[in-house]
Structure 1
Amino acid sequence: MNERHEKMRRENGYFERDGKLYVLTQQAYLDGSNEHPYYTAGAICTADEVDEDGWQPNYKAIWEILDSYRPEDMQEDCACNWYEPDEIEESGEYSIEEDRCC
């Protein structure tokens, strides 16, 4: 893992899936609708190849809000099982050098 991966890992978080490490490229944020809210964040997999232009696959991670979560009584870090997103799907590409996805 390179220095930029480590910085993003410290600042935004990470999770493992199928033996691979995913580093969040941003803080997770509340998304969805009033009827179905969830948290989402962009992520990159440290095992993925970076192409000659510095791009690699970008992923969208989704965490369902736990039924036991009560925002009026609990901190947001209790809202989801942050180490196990419910879904992860490829969503474009990400450039660490430019800190952006497309």
Structure 2
Amino acid sequence: MGLLDKMKAKLGPAKDKAVGLAKEHEEKIDHGLDKVARTVDQKTKGKYSEKIQSGTGRAKEGLHKFAGKDDGTGGTQGTDDTGTPPAPGAGGPPAG
């Protein structure tokens, strides 16, 4: 077993715990990101509002991805709103 394999084996449980905590507290983390964004926007008097909104959105996307959720804006290419691949001939790639 190489060094990299040993590191992965030790970090696996830590990652699983972090994912579990992110899932459990996702709503609180979302709220905290919004609160921080508002505070920073107020402190900068709106000068960086666009960048703050963009950064907050990216942080939330990362949180949802890390927690194992997808809001439907990415990662579902080739599926419909239910996550099911389209039927052949229903606008999807040709069958065969």
TM-score for the superposition, normalised by structure 1: 0.22
Larger radius of gyration: 2
- Structure with greater strand percent: 1
TM-score for the superposition, normalised by structure 2: 0.23
- Structure with greater helix percent: 2
